[in-house]
Amino acid sequence: MERQMTLAEMKDELSAARTNKRKFLDKLEAIIPWEEFIKIIEPSYYKGEVGNKPYPLELMMRIFILQNVYNLADMAVMNEVIDSRAFSDFCGINSPDEVPNGDTIGRFRNILTENGLQEKIFARVVEILTERKLILKKGTIVDSTFIESPSSTKNKEKKRDPEAHSGKKGNTWHFGYKAHIGVDEENGLVHTIKATPANEHDVNVMSELLHGKEERAYGDSGYIGAKKRPEAIKKNKDGKNIKYLINRRPSSIKKLSKSGQYAAKKREHQKSSVRCKVEHVFAVVKNIFRYRKTRYRGLQKQTAKLNIMFALANLYLADRFSPSV
């Protein structure tokens, strides 16, 4: 029989959880270029010409960041900012009266989405990391991951998201969207994002994930044939041929002789040792930021959401290589 925790042990565990939350929020405070983000949003933010005085932009931005890194709904993040001392300190809140309601939080998110501001934030983060020489653009790793959508029809419209589709990986079907990313081969930071329905084949979007300056392009066997497609980028902007280093299917290696198999497996291992860096950023988005399922409907909202998630993931990972931005 499993031993129950004592009250003292429960207090210790709760204290550790609170400490971890504060450490995480302290890291966010340090790595996010707040002034840069606010500069992007300010021209589109409500100025208060009509109606109530708007909430401070920085407060709304901080709540928006919390909402994304903890994967919270509008009402849930409002309640957390009120109830959690760590959240209220992060937002600079001294009283529950200073916290915007769920509708206001939702309207702020819609302003960002409708004006393409999350895409602009991601682009600015990439610029900053490139200036810091953390994105070198010598080689790109491409990959994708499924972001599930609710398949239930128990909602106001009595139907599933019409822009989401089903895609298969192995023997498993996934309903929702795909996040396709281009990652710098050096430090595993994302430089390009594309959201599609889940039934979009990876090879169809590879050319959109390359920036054109790379000398090498890596991908798993799902990208076989990418170089032969009419839209393929074969030469970089310096006129040099781009080397496509795509993993072979294991079944094709088995057909070789023993010596051929040994040499092929060695080459495949070299490709995979570079390509594995893409998994780090997926791990941050899915495991640390807990973004595994969509909360909103439509491709536009998925694109916006993915841009802010990978912007934050880039900043989180970049902190390993040098002091905060």
Residue 253 or residue 192, greater confidence: 192
Cα separation, 231 vs 244, whole angstroms:
14
Name, in order, each residue with C-beta under 8 angstroms of 274's C-beta and a sequence gap of 6 or more. Answer: 139, 141, 185, 218, 245
Structure tokens at 53: 């005085």
The percent of residues above 70 in pLDDT, for the chain, comes to 90
Per-chain mean pLDDT for the chain:
88
Least confident of 19-28, 34-43, 113-122: 19-28
pLDDT confidence bin for 257, thresholds 50/70/90? confident
Cα separation, 90 vs 85, whole angstroms:
8
At 52 the pLDDT is 74
At 308 the pLDDT is 97
What sections of 183-249 are H helices per DSSP? none
Name, in order, each residue with C-beta under 8 angstroms of 114's C-beta and a sequence gap of 6 or more. Answer: none
Q: Which of 198, 77, 209, 196 lies closest to 143 in space, CA to CA? A: 209
pLDDT, one tens digit per residue, over 174-186 is: 999 999 999 999 9
Residue 54 or residue 209, greater confidence: 209
At 205 the pLDDT is 95
Torsion angles phi and psi, residue 35, rounded to 5: -60, -40
Residue 4 has pLDDT above 60, yes or no: no
At 10 the pLDDT is 43
Residue by residue, DSSP assigns 36-102 as: HHHHHHGGGS---SSSSPPPPHHHHHHHHHHHHHTT--HHHHHHHHHH-HHHHHHHT--SGGGS--H
At 298 the pLDDT is 93
Structure tokens at 277: 């860096």
pLDDT confidence bin for 2, thresholds 50/70/90? very low
Cα separation, 275 vs 245, whole angstroms:
10
pTM, to two decimals = 0.88
Residue 50 has pLDDT above 90, yes or no: no
Residue 314 or residue 50, greater confidence: 314
Least confident of 34-43, 65-74, 243-252: 243-252
Torsion angles phi and psi, residue 211, rounded to 5: -90, -10
pLDDT confidence bin for 14, thresholds 50/70/90? very low
Q: In angstroms, how far is CA 156 from the centroid of its own chain?
A: 28
At 321 the pLDDT is 78
Mean pLDDT computed over 1-13: 47
Mean pLDDT computed over 78-88: 95
Helix axis angle, 117-131 relative to 102-114, nearest 10°? 70
Structure tokens at 116: 């393409």
Distances (CA, A) of 285 to 216, 227, 269, 291: 25, 29, 26, 6
Cα separation, 243 vs 235, whole angstroms:
9
At 46 the pLDDT is 84
The percent of residues above 90 in pLDDT, for the chain, comes to 71
In the chain, what are the domain boundaries?
Answer: 13-115, 136-296
At 248 the pLDDT is 83
pLDDT confidence bin for 322, thresholds 50/70/90? low
Cα separation, 232 vs 215, whole angstroms:
14
Least confident of 15-29, 175-189, 236-250: 15-29
**Which helix (H) or strand (E) is 195 found in, with range?**
strand 190-197
Most confident of 36-50, 129-143, 245-259: 129-143
Name, in order, each residue with C-beta under 8 angstroms of 139's C-beta and a sequence gap of 6 or more. Answer: 184, 185, 186, 214, 215, 216, 217, 218, 274
Strand 216-219 and strand 139-148: the pairing is: parallel
Torsion angles phi and psi, residue 265, rounded to 5: -65, -35
pLDDT confidence bin for 152, thresholds 50/70/90? low
At 158 the pLDDT is 66
What is the length of the chain? 325
Residue 114 has pLDDT above 80, yes or no: yes
Torsion angles phi and psi, residue 310, rounded to 5: -80, -25
